[in-house]
Structure 1
Amino acid sequence: MLSQPPVWFILIAFIAALGPLVFFHELGHYVVARVFGVGAESFSIGFGREVAGWTDKRGTRWKVGWLPLGGYVKFVGDLNPVSMPGEEKEDLSVEQRRRAFHCRPVWQRFLIVLAGPAANFLLAILIFATFYVAYGRPETPAVIGPVIANSAADHAGLKAGDRIISINGSATRYFQDIQAVTSLRPNYSVDLVYERGSQLRRVPVRLGSEQRLDEFGQKYVVGLLGVRPPQLVYKRLSVFEAVPAACGATANVTKMMVEIIGQIVTGERSPKELGGPLRMAQVAGQRASLGWSDFVYLIALFSINLGFINLLPVPMLDGGHLALYTVEAVQRRPVSLRAQEWAFRSGLAFLLALLIFTTLNDLGSFGLWESVGRLIG
Structure 2
Amino acid sequence: MPDDTAAAAVGTLRLPPRIHFGYGARRQLPEVVRLHGRRVLAVVDPFLVGTPILRETVDALTAAGLGVLVHSDITPELPVDTLDAAVATARDYRADVVLAIGGGSALDAAKLIALLSAYGGPLHRYYGENLVPGPIVPLVAVPTTAGTGSEVTPVAVVSDPARELKVGISSPFLVPSVAVVDPEFTLGTPATVTAWSGIDALVHAVESYTAKPFGPDWPAPLPVFTGRNVLSESAALEAATRLGQWLPVAVHRPGDRRARHEVALGSLLGGIAFGSTGTHLCHALQYPIGALTKTPHGLGTGLMLPYVIDTLMAQPDAVARLAALGAALEAIPPAEASAARTLARVVEINREIGVPETLADIGLTPGQLPQIAELGLRSTRLVAAAPVEPSHELLLGILERAYHGALENRSVR
Instruction: Give me the TM-score of the superposition, normalised by structure 1.
Output: 0.26
Higher strand proportion (structure 1 or 2): 1
Structure with bigger RCO (C-alpha 8 Å, 6+ apart): 1
